[in-house]
Amino acid sequence: MIPLTIQEEIDAGNSEILSHRMLNNSIIINYNKSSERIRIPMDSLISKYSHLLDKFVISLTIDYDDRNNFAYSPKKLSQYFYRTTQFWSILLYLNDCHSLIEFDLEKERVKILDPAKITMLLNEILILEGKI
């Protein structure tokens, strides 16, 4: 289900155990005057453990229509393969993209982590990091 508002997406992400936030170490900056907090991702756990994940990376051929549908939208592709938008940053990393703008899918191939193994792999990483 695609959230209607940004707040719904934030709430959904906060309620999931395997979320984008859990997979990225970050720095939190507190603004004392308004009590606002900014979280800045600093270190991707996918990058840190890529040597363990490499054998579970699948390279898929995607047709022209799918390239147009998923271009600049790793969240859509994450929803399609994993039934959650939370793994969008993994798709960026696997496809050597640093931002949504680079996720243009001009090539006929896209890399994903095996959907049948992703939950087990990410749980293992979070256990190694002491997050669960």
Share of the chain above pLDDT 90, in %: 36
Examine residue 1 and state whether it is found in any structural domain, yes or no: no
Average pLDDT of the residues in 1-16: 60
Closest CA to 16 of 115, 119, 125: 119
Is residue 22 one of the residues assigned to a domain?
Answer: yes
What are 85-94's pLDDT values in tens digits?
Answer: 889 999 999 9
The reply to whether 14 falls in a domain is yes
Q: How many domains does the chain have?
A: 1
Residue 87 lies in a domain: yes
Q: Give the domain extent around 71.
A: 6-128
Give residue 44's pLDDT: 82
Output the pLDDT for position 82: 93
The gap between the terminal CA atoms of the chain, to the nearest Å, is 26
Predicted confidence band of residue 43 (pLDDT cuts 50, 70, 90): confident
pLDDT at position 58: 95
